[in-house]
Amino acid sequence: MLDYNGDTHLYLQIADILRHRVSDLTSGHPVPSEADIQAEFGVARTTARRAIHVLREEGLIYTVQGEGTFVGAPDAAPRKQRKTPMYRQIASDIAEQIKAGRFQPRRPIPGETALLQEYDVARETVRRAMALLREQGWIYTVAQRGSYVSPKEEWPST
């Protein structure tokens, strides 16, 4: 239970609670996200972030960008096979649909909003997928119009 009126900052109180919890966990076990801590303790995201920072500085936990925060030191934990980032999965899926003929050359592909809903991801994830598809030559974008499938001769050789 947090003491909101005491002389100890809330983030330090939360860090103490989390420190106790992680002491029972094995190295590599995931710890709650900032959003989970925020919801559980009813605090601001900054407070949750500072609590995690304290434990990270103590070497009790580590964070892997895009994967989460885990118990222990990064080199001591058994690492799972790294997943393909979601934006690459989306780009690969759309490229496969283009190859299969679902999306025709010089015709539009679904817009950002449709892809957000279809894949249930953040807008930035969709934008990165689209940027990768453009970079690879699968699509091109026309300002104020949207993204279109590139002509077949511009597709990457697979």
Q: How many C-beta atoms surround the C-beta of residue 155 within 10 A?
A: 17
Residue 56 shares a structural domain with residue 104: no
Supply the CATH number for residue 40's domain.
1.10.10.10
Amino acid identity at 102: R
Host domain of residue 57: 10-71
Tell whether pTM > 0.85: no
Residue 103 in domain? yes
Structure-token pair, residue 7: 């002389």
Q: How many residues does the chain have?
A: 158
Give CA–CA dist 143/2, Å, rounded: 52
Residue 62 shares a structural domain with residue 113: no
Tens-level pLDDT at each residue, the chain (158 residues): 899 899 999 999 999 999 999 988 888 889 998 999 999 999 999 999 999 999 999 989 988 877 788 888 776 655 555 577 889 999 999 999 999 999 999 999 999 999 999 888 889 999 999 999 999 999 999 999 999 999 999 999 86
Domain count, the chain: 2
